[in-house]
Amino acid sequence: MTRAKRTSSVDTTIDENLKRAFDDVASEPLPSRFTDLLEQLKTEGAPKGSDQESDNNS
Amino acid sequence: MSDPRDELVEHLGPMRAFAMSLTRNSALADDMVQDALVKAWTNIDKFEPGTNMRAWLFTILRNTYYSHHRKARREVSDTDGELAASLAKKPDHDGRLQMRDFHTAFEKLPDEQREALVLVGAGGFSYEEAAETCGVAVGTIKSRVNRARARLVELMHLDEDQVLETTDAVTAGIVSANKSVA
């Protein structure tokens, strides 16, 4: 076995550490800006000035 | 038939994690997720029901990143990403890789290698899904993941003995964590 050869246990360790960090962020409570935005999208549609330029500004 | 827009909320957590891994800056990452969410909402008719919504959303997210947030990131010198913080804050002896080293090495990966590794290694994407998300061939994703891992190993000077020690410690850490909860 050559020293430089990567083993699957090395890869597994990398993935496990990465996954832990990823899951930490993914499972955080959602900031209110997102829940608020979803509410707004449901009631009013997309915010003005995003993709559609001139919606009726009621 | 249910509205696919109702499912968007379930993917926001993973979208934040993916965005964080691209930008390593929490404010930028959340701006990016917000833009992607609005785009997804407005273009929901382009989503084919029955296909992988997470892959679709991650595609929108990374297009958002490459079309303008990447530029913004370069202008922000401080990468204060929560993913980075989450990597850095763990003590070295609690059974994880030397977190500072891991973080530093992770930062040094080129964007395309980092995203491939995050999708496949952490996000649970198959090579095929990752290839579709990044708009490249499956072989390209495999090679990027491979190179990313090789580079991390090289940067952290990992060898098998260290990893075996670490793996044992990880197991011990998880077991003791479970016990303390019970």
What is the C-alpha separation between A27 and B73, in angstroms, rounded? 24
Structure tokens that stand for A9 in this block: 């246990």
What is the C-alpha separation between A38 and B124, in angstroms, rounded? 26
CATH number, domain with residue B163: 1.10.10.10
CB contact under 8 A, A6 and B153: yes
Q: Are residues B81 and B131 in the same domain?
A: no
CB contact under 8 A, B158 and A10: yes
Q: Are residues B102 and B72 in the same domain?
A: no
Amino acid, single-letter form, for residue A46: A
The three-state secondary structure class of B29 is helix
Q: Return the residue matching tokens 């993935």.
A: A15
Q: Chain-centre distance of CA B71, in angstroms?
A: 19
Residue B167 CA: distances (Å) to CA of B39, B94, B99, B129: 42, 11, 14, 29
CB contact under 8 A, B153 and A10: yes
Confidence of residue B72 (pLDDT cuts 50, 70, 90): low
Domain boundary among B89, B119, B135: B89
* Assigned domain for B115 exists: yes
Q: Are residues B85 and B103 in the same domain?
A: no
Q: Are residues B102 and B85 in the same domain?
A: no
Contact list, A22 vs chain B (CB under 8 Å): 14, 17-18, 21, 83, 118, 122-123
Domain boundary among B89, B122, B143: B89
- In chain B, the number of structural domains is 2
CB contact under 8 A, A30 and B13: yes
Interface check for B8 against chain A (CB to CB < 8 A): the answer is yes
Residue B41: CB atoms within 10 Å: 18
pLDDT, tens only, B87-127: 554 444 444 556 667 778 888 899 999 999 999 999 999 99
* Assigned domain for B135 exists: yes
Q: Are residues B51 and B102 in the same domain?
A: no
Confidence of residue B178 (pLDDT cuts 50, 70, 90): very low
* Assigned domain for B181 exists: no
Q: Are residues B13 and B82 in the same domain?
A: yes
Q: Which domain, by its residues, includes B14?
A: 7-89
* Assigned domain for B2 exists: no
Confidence of residue B79 (pLDDT cuts 50, 70, 90): low
Q: Closest approach of chain A CAs to the CA of B38, in angstroms?
A: 6
Residue B71 CA: distances (Å) to CA of B66, B89, B119: 8, 28, 22
| Residues with Cβ within 8 Å of residue B109, at least 6 apart in sequence | B117, B148, B151, B152
Domain boundary among B89, B115, B146: B89
> What pLDDT sits at residue A9?
80
Q: Closest approach of chain B CAs to the CA of A22, in angstroms?
A: 6
